[in-house]
A and B are shown apart, each in its own frame.
Chain A
Amino acid sequence: MIKRRTQRVILSLLCLLVLPGCWDRTEINDMAFILVSALDLEANNKIRYSVMVPLPGQMGGASGGGGGTAGEKSYYIDSEVGSTYREAQMKMQRRMSRRMFLAHRRTILVGEELAKKGISEFFDPTPRSPESRMSTYLIVTKGYAYKMMQSNPRFERFPSEAIRELVKARYVADMNFKDFGLALSIPGSDPVAVYMDVTDSQKSEKSSKEVELKGYAQFKRDKFVGTYEDMAANGLSWLRNQHVLANITVHVEQQHLMNLKLYGVKSRVDVSLGQDALNFKIHVNVRAKLTENRSYYDLSQTQNLLKVEQATSDYVKKSIQTIIARMTKSQTDSAQLGTMVWRSYPNEWKKQYEKNWPEGLKKAKFTIDVESEITDTGLIYENVLKEH
């Protein structure tokens, strides 16, 4: 009898196994993995949604060694216009035999035009789907975003990979979609995003369209207002205490050109309430390596080295001054200084500054104090050909 019953239980359990069916089961080859999607603004306030999807069949498998057919791309790009992001995507799905899958999207490109209009609405569809990741990189492109997808970087299999590697590299601050959203939602801060462009490679036999880091895109709330490049971009990273590698060229004694690699820049910003304005004390510690000395400048002499350090400090100070000037001019707080005020003096912030925040920056006093240290000058002090 007992045996009978266990048999019945097992049988019904087996049925349970089959009854739900394999609803979620999707073979890897029934999926189109979106590597990067590009968002652009079209006429009539419509959205152009473009995706890049790899073609596994074109990748030649493991033994092919990169697929013999030269010129044949192992990905394809498709685009559609819709009034919402998902509508555009679904329209595109109608001509794709494989389901678009978002979990492997690592970069979202936003075209300049759309960025100017504001991108906060994009923060709804993305977190809404469990497939898409908040750790995706958000990148603003010069011109149309889909143009960047059409580039053909020579190093990587997919342009998306080249874009991602560049954003991940330590030359810009590591900022993803989530960081952007955070900067938008906390008081006293405006977000920035990585700003990229497509450039032709120069003087090569066959020119290729490479993607290039330009700096940061400056946002006022969710609207793109300008870019920080070169000095301003470096100044921003240093002011925000983000660990980036920077290469700078300085003139020492007006004539000696030096190139330095700044590898350990640490900054601390102290806020204090002044009489009628805020006081920002910015302290920066710079550690640098000397990478090139274009003239025969003798670096074995301590006083010479001190001069190089001074020049470095001046450069860093100037960079930070530049970014502050840019911020106050355009009334954006890309460095999130307001957040520091909010955190340190929440009451004053509420009373005085919250309503029209970046105004407070105008009157604020900045004291910048930079300490530089050149840790090494490489293997030599000076040009090896110099005669003594």
Chain B
Amino acid sequence: MLRSSKRNKKEKNTLHETLQKHDYQFIQDLRSVPIFMELSENKAYLSDLFKDCSDFVIREFQLEHSSNAIMFFVDGMVDTELANDTMKSLMTLEDGEPLLDEIVQRNLPVSQTQKTDNYSDLLISVLGGDVGLIVHNNNQAVLLGIRGMQTRSISEPETESVIRGPREGFVENIRTNTSMLRRKLKTPHLKMKNLTIGRESNTCVVVTYLENLADPGIVQEVLRRLEKIDIDAVLESGYLEEFIQDSSYSPFPQVQYTERPDTVAAALLQGRVGIVVDGTPFVLIVPFVFTEILQASEDYYERFQIATLIRWLRYLFLVLSLLTPGLYVAITTFHQDLLPTSLLLSVAAAREAIPFPAVVEALIMEVTFEGLREAGIRLPKTIGSAVSILGALVVGQAAVQAGIVSAPMVIVVSMTGIASFTIPRFNGAIAIRMLRFPIIFAAAVFGMFGILICILIILGHLANLRSFGIPYLSPIGPLSAADLKDVVIRNPWWAMRERPEYMPLQDIVRQGDALSTEIIMQEGQKGMSIQHQEKEEEGDTES
């Protein structure tokens, strides 16, 4: 099945003798190679390593007093102007044979510098966009953080758009992303642990959490699971998700992903742990529980009454999107006595000319619908409208008129479609989408009994799932009654005194008691006692 493919042990290439000198498989193997004292040796070594790499720049220059140095970087990743300024300040350096420490302290107008003594760390940083500087007669290199690569600017997240709420979404650059988090939570409690995963990609991964809230056990577990990953490249956070989740074969997601910094910040404030991966705008959040599939960030920004009602709607539609086709099949082929007579007769009349049994009909429509949806996602936007026209015509109109599917089936499929679109978390919707098909089969073979069996199996599976040790169905099972304030309803903020109980937290209190008690006592902050300014002249006197 999905067993990880064995890594090909590369046949040792003996064609080039030069390669013998730096025989390495991954860049991490260069940890044992020190920076040479002799500059020319370093230069030769680098140019050998980066042979045929046209984007790698090595610039040799002289300090004022004959001491030589090289600067090297990847073209396009560095702010050239800053690099020039740095070089300028180095070239005018006066003392003879300066120590590297002195140079760093006095002559490098760069805010981020770092020293290293081996080629592994050096190259990882340089390939990540830093500028490397080696001065003759020093067995250390300096890394200058003057990155200036082109990145996508911050824009509204397309997969999680809101009507009310911040419009910024993560981008591909990890430092932009972490800065967006830091801007939300301006506290030193917000920790960002660095990891490098991927032997070829050397992807920067940041594990972020609130030190004063998050359970150290969970943080340790996240770090432990991430550190064990040994793969050539991490191109998207989805790679990591599949490695770190608790149950690999479950259709249900045990890791949340989001494009929204506010969602991550809210999760961190509940003691969860965020995993930011360089090169993708999708940040992972663990642990993840089932009820969060049905919670959107906007629930917390919009008025609580509508948020509560919409949640109920989502619960209803979750069930509908899972069961409607199955129920249709079961009722029309096994339990005809369940329908009111007039409805049954309408269904019978609509089905009169249909050549297929109800199961086949349901499968045809469901598969067509899934196909349409898939086609719509992949296509460029300009062709997308063509797909929707085709879909509306084929699925809606023509199929019914041609007598291939019945009109009630079209309603069932569109109901399911709409219902599955109401689930805010896409990965949760996917699970429901997939499980619909076994339910249709079970309904076709066993009727309502089959549907019930399927529901029981799904519930059993959900109850068995855990995400980083947290039961997947919490706070419903095991029940923690206090947390239902954010599941059954969405409590107004002044009533959300405590953080979720099901999360192992160091500090459960979310807000001070005084105001919340006041609001509860008098149903809001009453403005009766405000001394309004007397109206003296015409015009606005409103204070």
Contacts and interface: CB of A to CB of B under 8 A. Distances in A.
B213 interface: no
Contact of B341 (A25, A33, A56, A62): A33
A61 interface: yes
A29 B352 contact: yes
Interface in A20-71: 20, 22, 24-29, 31, 33, 35, 54, 56-57, 59-63
A48 B346 CA distance: 30
Q: DSSP majority for the B interface?
A: helix
Given A62-B407, A103-B337, A131-B337, A29 B351 contact: yes
Nearest to A132: B337
Task: Name which of A18, A59, A131 has the most chain B CB atoms within 10 A of its CB.
Answer: A59
B350 A31 contact: no
Contacts of A2: none
Contact of B445 (A17, A60, A63, A106): A17
Contact of A104 (B334, B341, B347, B358): B341
Interface string A334-359: 00000000000000000000000000
Nearest to B411: A62
21 contacts: A18-B445, A22-B444, A24-B447, A25-B333, A25-B445, A27-B333, A27-B351, A28-B348, A28-B358, A29-B351, A29-B352, A31-B336, A33-B341, A33-B344, A56-B349, A57-B352, A59-B345, A60-B349, A61-B350, A103-B336, A161-B342
Contacts of A171: none
B50 to A, nearest CB: 47
B332 interface: yes
Contacts of B346: 59, 62
A101 interface: yes
B337 A24 contact: no
Interface in B464-492: none
Q: Which 9 A-B pairs have the closest CB atoms?
A: A103-B337, A56-B348, A59-B349, A56-B349, A57-B352, A104-B341, A56-B352, A28-B332, A25-B333
Contact of B336 (A56, A62, A101): A101
Contacts of A63: 407
Contacts of A22: 444-445
B1 to A, nearest CB: 10
B357 interface: yes
A54 B344 CA distance: 11
Contacts of B350: 61-62
A176 B348 CA distance: 27
B402 to A, nearest CB: 13
Contact of A28 (B336, B353, B444): B336
Contacts of B349: 56-57, 59-62
Interface residues of B, number: 24
A55 to B, nearest CB: 9
Given A24-B447, A27-B332, 7 more contacts: A25-B445, A28-B332, A33-B348, A54-B345, A59-B345, A62-B407, A103-B336
Contacts of A31: 336, 348
Interface in B327-385: 332-334, 336-337, 341-342, 344-354, 357-358
Interface residues of A, number: 27
A27 B357 contact: yes
A256 to B, nearest CB: 46
Interface string A144-183: 0000000000000000010000000000000000000000
A33 B334 CA distance: 14
Most buried by B among A18, A54, A104, A106: A104
Interface centre among B342, B354, B445 (most CB of A within 10 A): B445
Residue among B334, B337, B342, B348 with most chain A CB within 10 A: B348
Contact of B345 (A20, A27, A33): A33
A104 B444 contact: no
Contacts of B347: 28
B444 A56 contact: no
B334 A24 contact: yes
A61 B351 CA distance: 8
Contacts of A59: 345-346, 349
Interface in A74-122: 101, 103-104, 106
A28 B350 CA distance: 10
Nearest to B333: A25
Nearest to A133: B337
Of B344, B346, B358, B444, the most chain A CB neighbours within 10 A belong to: B344
Interface in A311-355: none
A385 to B, nearest CB: 46
Contact of A26 (B333, B353, B354, B407): B333
A132 to B, nearest CB: 10
Contact of A61 (B336, B341, B352): B352
B13 to A, nearest CB: 38
Interface in B255-309: none
User: Which of A17, A35, A62 is packed against the most chain B CB atoms within 10 Å?
Assistant: A62
A69 B334 CA distance: 32
Nearest to A103: B337
Interface in A352-380: none
Contact of B407 (A24, A25, A61): A61
B337 A104 contact: yes
A102 to B, nearest CB: 9
Given A62-B350, A62-B407, A103-B337, A28 B447 contact: no
Q: Which of A18, A24, A61, A104 has the most CB of B within 10 A?
A: A61
